[in-house]
Chain A
Amino acid sequence: MISLHGTVSVGNFLRRFSLEVGNETVGVFGANGIGKTSLLRTVAGLCPLGEGELHVNGVVVDAPAKHQFVQPELRNIGMVFQDHSLFPFMTALDNAAFPLVMRGMKRSTARKMANEMMEQFDVVHVAEQLAPTLSGGQSQRVAIVRALVGAPQAVLLDEPLSAIDEESREGVRNLIREHLDRLKVSAVVVSHDRADLDHLCTRIENYTR
Chain B
Amino acid sequence: MNQVSSRTPRFVRMGALIGVLFLALPIVGLLKRVAWSTLWTQLTDVATRDALRISLYASVCATLLALVLGLPLAWCLARMQFAGRRFVRALVLLPMVLPPVVGGVALLGAYGKTRGLLGGVLDSLFGVQLTYSLSGVIIAETFVALPFLVLALEGGLRSIDTKYEEAAAVMGAKDLTRFMRVTLPLLKPSLVAGLMLAWARALGEFGATITFAGNIQSRTQTAPLAVYTMLESNPEGAYALSFLLVAICVGVLVGLRDRWIGGASQ
Q: Which A residues fall within an 8 A CB radius of B?
A: 44-46, 71-77, 79, 81, 83, 85, 87-89, 98-99, 102-103, 146, 150
Report the Cα distance A79→B163, complex, angstroms.
Answer: 13
Q: Which of B43-51, B137-145, B146-154, B169-177 contacts A (4 or more CB under 8 A)?
A: B169-177
* Contact call B171/A102, Cβ cutoff below 8 A: yes
* Contact call B170/A46, Cβ cutoff below 8 A: yes
13 residue pairs of the A-B complex, CB under 8 angstroms, read: A45-B169, A45-B170, A46-B169, A72-B166, A73-B170, A73-B172, A77-B170, A81-B163, A89-B185, A98-B171, A99-B172, A102-B173, A150-B171
Which listed residue, A73, A83, A146, touches B174 by the CB 8 Å rule?
A: A73
Q: How far is the CB of B192 from chain A (nearest CB, A)?
A: 14
* Contact call A81/B173, Cβ cutoff below 8 A: no
- Number of contacts between A and B (CB, 8 Å)? 54
Contacts of B178 in A (CB 8 A): 73
* Contact call A73/B173, Cβ cutoff below 8 A: yes
Report the Cα distance A71→B172, complex, angstroms.
Answer: 9
Report the Cα distance A77→B171, complex, angstroms.
Answer: 7
Given that A87-B182, A89-B185, A89-B186 are known contacts, is A99 also in contact with B171, CB under 8 Å in the complex? yes
* Contact call A85/B166, Cβ cutoff below 8 A: yes
Report the Cα distance A98→B168, complex, angstroms.
Answer: 8
Report the Cα distance A77→B188, complex, angstroms.
Answer: 29
Contacts of B182 in A (CB 8 A): 87
* Contact call B169/A146, Cβ cutoff below 8 A: no
* Contact call A103/B172, Cβ cutoff below 8 A: yes
B167 interface contact, C-beta 8 A: yes
* Contact call A44/B171, Cβ cutoff below 8 A: no
Report the Cα distance A102→B20, complex, angstroms.
Answer: 52
Contacts of A79 in B (CB 8 A): 167, 170
Report the Cα distance A77→B163, complex, angstroms.
Answer: 16
* Contact call B172/A76, Cβ cutoff below 8 A: yes
Which listed residue, A46, A83, A102, touches B172 by the CB 8 Å rule?
A: A102
* Contact call A72/B186, Cβ cutoff below 8 A: no
B40 interface contact, C-beta 8 A: no
* Contact call A71/B169, Cβ cutoff below 8 A: yes
Report the Cα distance A85→B188, complex, angstroms.
Answer: 18
Report the Cα distance A98→B164, complex, angstroms.
Answer: 12
Report the Cα distance A146→B164, complex, angstroms.
Answer: 14
* Contact call A87/B164, Cβ cutoff below 8 A: yes
Residues 169-200 of B at the A interface (beta carbon under 8 Å): 169-174, 177-178, 182, 185-186, 188
Given contacts A46-B170, A77-B170, A89-B185, 13 further A-B pairs with CB under 8 A are: A45-B169, A46-B169, A73-B172, A73-B173, A73-B174, A83-B163, A88-B164, A89-B186, A99-B171, A102-B168, A102-B177, A146-B171, A150-B171
